[in-house]
Amino acid sequence: MKYLLAIVVLIVALLHQDVWFWKDKTLVLGFLPIGLAYHMGYSVLAALTMWALVRFAWPAEFDEMEPPRP
Amino acid sequence: MIPALIVFAYLSIVLYIGIFAFRRGKESGEDFFLANRGLGQAVFLLSLFGTNMTAFAILGSSGLAYHRGIGVYGLMASSSGLVIPLTIYLIGTRLWALGKRFGHMTQVQFLRDRWECGAIGTFLFAITAGMLIPYIVIAVMGGGHTLETVSAGWVNFEVGGGIVALVVMGYVFFGGMRGTAWVNTFQTVLFLCFGMAAFVLIARGLGGLDQIMDSMVSNPKTSPLLTRERIAPAEFFSYMFIPLSAIMFPHISIMCLTAKKVTHFKKTVIFYPLCIMAIWAPCVYLGVVAASQFPGLKPGETDNVLVQLLTQHTGLLVSGILGAGIMACVMASDSQIMALSTMFTEDIFVYYGGKQRFGDRMQVWTGRAFVVGIALTAYLIGIALKNKAGIFEIAIRFAFSGFAALSPIMIAALFWKRSTKWGALAAAIWVMVAMIGTWVLFEISAPTGPSAGGPPKPFPVFPELGNLFLRTPGNVTVYGFLAVFPMVIGSTLLMIIVSLLTKPPSQATLDKYFPPKGQVRGWAR
C-alpha cells in the first residue's frame, strides 16, 4: 500500500505542471480563469491525497505513543 | 479614522490574549517556549496554519498577481498545498516524537544530538537565524503599509510599523508560545471568516466580477493576467521546490513540537491544503482584479492593492474590520520572533551552560530579552528598507530558497543512518554560498523591470556565459530555473557524497535513533 501511495503522490505532483492551460483564457462560470480553477481543484486533490496517506499509511508506531484513554 | 480605530481595537485584543496566556503559564522553559507540549487539535491546526500565513501570503501574493496574473496561485499556493502537509506528515511527526522522547526543543538540538556535533550546530543556528530575520522585517513593513492605508495616512508607515512591532513583541514577551498560539488561532479564525466577506463585498462594490473579467479578457494589456503567459515554465517548475522551506523554518518545526498528541497531525495535514486555498485564491484573484482598477503601479507600490480595494469598495466599518483581518495575517511574525527567541535560548544560552549557571527562570527571561532585541532590530531594518523592494521578492531571495535547500539535511538526519555532520556542514555551506552568490549576481545586474503589457524579458548577467545566469525583474535564474532548484540539488548531492566520505556517528547514537529491527523505532516511546 505504501508503494502505491508513493506513486499516487508522484502523479499528483506531476499534475501540478498543467502545461495544457498555460495560455487558455476561458472563464469558468463567467468569472473564474480556467488556470486558477484548475489549481483550486488541485488543492482539493492534495487534501484527498493527504487523507489517503493518513488513512492507509499512518506509521503504526505513532499510535503506541498515544497516552492510554482513561 | 473609523477603520484605524477598529484595527487599534483589534491590536488591543491580541495584546490582551498574550497577557491572559501569561497568567496561565508557568515560569519554566518548556512552558514558555513550547506551551508545555500541550496544544489541542484545533489550536494546533489553526496556529500552525496561521504561522505560515503571513504578510508574504496576503500582501505579497496579491501584489505579485497584479503584475504576473493568476499563475501566482499555482506558483506557491497549490504546490504548497501538497508539499507542506507532506513534509509535516513525514518530518513534522518524527520531530514531534523525537522531541517528546529526548526533550529537544529546536531543530539544532536534534541535529547536534543526532550527529554528535557542537560547533556545526552553532553554524546551523547562525544560518537559520540569519535567514529568519527578513521574514520578521516583512511583517513590520506589511504592518506599516496596512495601518498607513487603513488610516488614510493618519498613521504613517514608520509609526504603523512601530505599533505592530510593539504589539507583537508585547504578547510574545508575556505569553510565550501559548500566547503566540492563541493569538495565531484567533487571527486565523478572524481572517478565514472575514476573508470571504471581503471577497463578496469587493465583488459587489465593483459591480460584479463577470463584467470585470470580460473587460480584462478583451483588453490586450490585462488579458495575459488571466493566464500564465507572464510566468516561464522553468520558473513555474522551480517554485515546486520552494514549499520544502516550510518544515525547515524554525517557527514551523518548533510549532510541530507543541502538539499534545501525534494524532493532532492527522486533521492538520488533511485540512492544510483547503485552508491555503481559502486564503490564497481570493488574494490572487483580487490582485489580478486590482490591475484593472489601479493600472500602472510599479512592483514596490503593489503590496497594498488589497487594502486599497477594501477601502474603495466597502463601508468604513467593514473596511476597518477587514483591515484588522489583513493585519491578522501580517502579524504572523510573532511565531518567528518566538522561534528565534527559543533558538537563541536553547541553542546558545543553554548549550553553552547558561541554564546550569543561572537556572530555569533566567532561561525564560533570556528568551524574553531576546524577543525585545529581535523586534527592535526588525523594526529598524524595515524602516530603512521602506520602498526598496517588494515584500514577496525579499522573502523569496533571502529566506524561502535557503530554507528549502536546507531540507535535505533534515531528511538525511531522520531517514538516512549513514549521514554525517560533515555532510550537513557541506550542504549548509553550499546553501550559504549559493544565497550570497545569487544576491551578488542580483545586485550587479541592472533590473529589467516589467515590460509594458508583455512578459518580463530576462537577459544574461554575463553574455559570454550564455543563459547560465539570467536576470529577471525579481530574480537571478540558472538556465531559466530559480536558484532554489540547483540549491536543493546541490545540497542533496553534497549531503550524500560528503557523508559517504566521512565517519558516521558512534554506534550508541545510531542505535538511539535507528534501533535494530524488532525493537521500538527511535521516534516511538
pLDDT of B186 above 80: yes
User: Minimal Cα distance from B86: which residue of A?
Assistant: A50
CA atoms of A8 and B508, how far apart (whole Å)? 37
Give the mean pLDDT of B317-339.
73
DSSP strand pairing (B469-471 vs B459-460):
antiparallel
CA atoms of B54 and B305, how far apart (whole Å)? 16
Identify the residue with better confidence: B494 or B53. B494
Residue A28 in domain: yes
Q: Which residues of A touch B (CB under 8 A)?
A: 9, 12-13, 16-19, 21-25, 27, 30-33, 35-36, 38-40, 42-44, 46-47, 49-51, 53-54, 58-59, 61-67
Q: From chain B, pick out residues whose CB is under 8 angstroms from the CB of A64.
A: 520, 524-525
* B37 at A interface, C-beta within 8 A: no
In 3D space, the residue among B154, B42, B134, B478 whose CA is nearest the CA of residue B333 turns out to be B134
Residue A69 in domain: no
Query: How much is the mean pLDDT over chain B?
Result: 85
The number of beta carbons lying within 10 Å of the beta carbon of residue B133 is: 17
CB B271 within 8 A of CB A47: yes
Give per-residue pLDDT as tens, B444-459. 887 654 455 555 578 8
Q: From chain A, pick out residues whose CB is under 8 angstroms from the CB of B97.
A: 62, 65
C-beta atoms of A21 and B228 within 8 A: yes
pLDDT of B522 above 50: no
Region at B93 (left for phi over 0; alpha for psi -120 to 50; beta for the rest):
alpha
CA atoms of B399 and B339, how far apart (whole Å)? 15
Give the mean pLDDT of B343-355.
85
Residue A67 in domain: no
The number of beta carbons lying within 10 Å of the beta carbon of residue B308 is: 16
B105 burial type by CB count under 10 A (0-12 exposed, 13-18 middle, 19+ buried): buried
Chosen for mutation from B61, B226, B286 (greatest number of chain A CBs closer than 10 Å) is B226
Give the mean pLDDT of A14-29.
93
Chosen for mutation from B199, B214, B277 (greatest number of chain A CBs closer than 10 Å) is B277
CA atoms of B426 and B419, how far apart (whole Å)? 12
Q: From chain B, pick out residues whose CB is under 8 angstroms from the CB of A35.
A: 70-71, 74, 226-228
CB B470 within 8 A of CB B477: yes
Q: What are the domain boundaries of chain B? A: 2-18+46-513
Lowest mean pLDDT among B289-303, B400-414, B509-523: B509-523
pLDDT band at residue B332 under the 50/70/90 scheme = low
- The SS3 assignment for B481 reads strand
* B158 at A interface, C-beta within 8 A: no
Residue A26 in domain: yes
Q: In what order do the strands lie in the sheet with B481-482?
A: B459-460, B469-471, B476-478, B481-482
Give the mean pLDDT of A44-67.
86
The position carrying cell 531517514 is B415
Residue A36 in domain: yes
C-beta atoms of A66 and B209 within 8 A: no
Residue A65 in domain: no
DSSP strand pairing (B459-460 vs A32-33):
unpaired
Residue of A35, A39, A43 lying closest to B227 (CB–CB): A35
Give per-residue pLDDT as tens, B449-497. 445 555 557 888 898 988 889 888 777 899 989 999 999 999 999 999 9
Find the Cα–Cα–Cα–Cα dihedral B476, B482, B484, B487, rounded to 10°: -70
pLDDT band at residue B300 under the 50/70/90 scheme = low
To which H or E segment does residue B469 belong? Answer: strand B469-471
To which H or E segment does residue B482 belong? Answer: strand B481-482
Record the pTM. Answer: 0.89
Q: Which three cell numbers stand for residue B43?
A: 489550536
Q: What are phi and psi of A32, to 5 degrees?
A: -110, 115
pLDDT of B524 above 50: no
pLDDT of B248 above 60: yes
Angle at the Cα of B313 from the Cα atoms of B311 and B319, rounded to 5 degrees: 40
> What is the reported pLDDT for B525?
40
* B524 at A interface, C-beta within 8 A: yes
pLDDT of A66 above 70: no
User: Minimal Cα distance from B208: which residue of A?
Assistant: A31
B525 burial type by CB count under 10 A (0-12 exposed, 13-18 middle, 19+ buried): exposed
C-beta atoms of A50 and B79 within 8 A: no
DSSP strand pairing (A32-33 vs A27-28):
antiparallel
- Please give the tally of structural domains in chain A: 1
pLDDT of B273 above 50: yes
CA atoms of B108 and B106, how far apart (whole Å)? 5
The position carrying cell 498543467 is A18
Identify the residue with better confidence: B459 or A29. A29
Q: From chain B, pick out residues whose CB is under 8 angstroms from the CB of A47.
A: 81, 270-274
Give the mean pLDDT of B288-304.
84
Give per-residue pLDDT as tens, B362-421. 878 888 888 888 888 888 888 887 766 555 455 556 678 899 999 999 999 999 999 999
Residues of chain B above pLDDT 70, percent:
88
Rounded to a whole number, what is the distance in Å from the CA of B240 to chain A's nearest CA? 9
Pick one of 1.20.1730.10, 3.40.50.720, 3.30.565.10, 3.30.499.10 as the CATH number of B2-18+46-513: 1.20.1730.10
Residue A16 in domain: yes
The position carrying cell 533571502 is B398
DSSP state of B456: -
pLDDT of B112 above 90: yes
Q: Which three cell numbers stand for residue B18?
A: 498574550
Rounded to a whole number, what is the distance in Å from the CA of A69 to chain B's nearest CA? 12
Residue of A18, A24, A43 lying closest to B274 (CB–CB): A43
Position A49, amino acid: T
Q: From chain B, pick out residues whose CB is under 8 angstroms from the CB of A39.
A: 73-74, 77-78
Position B501, amino acid: L
Chosen for mutation from B73, B78, B236 (greatest number of chain A CBs closer than 10 Å) is B78
* B512 at A interface, C-beta within 8 A: no
Rounded to a whole number, what is the distance in Å from the CA of B112 to chain A's nearest CA? 24
Q: What is the ipTM of this complex?
A: 0.94
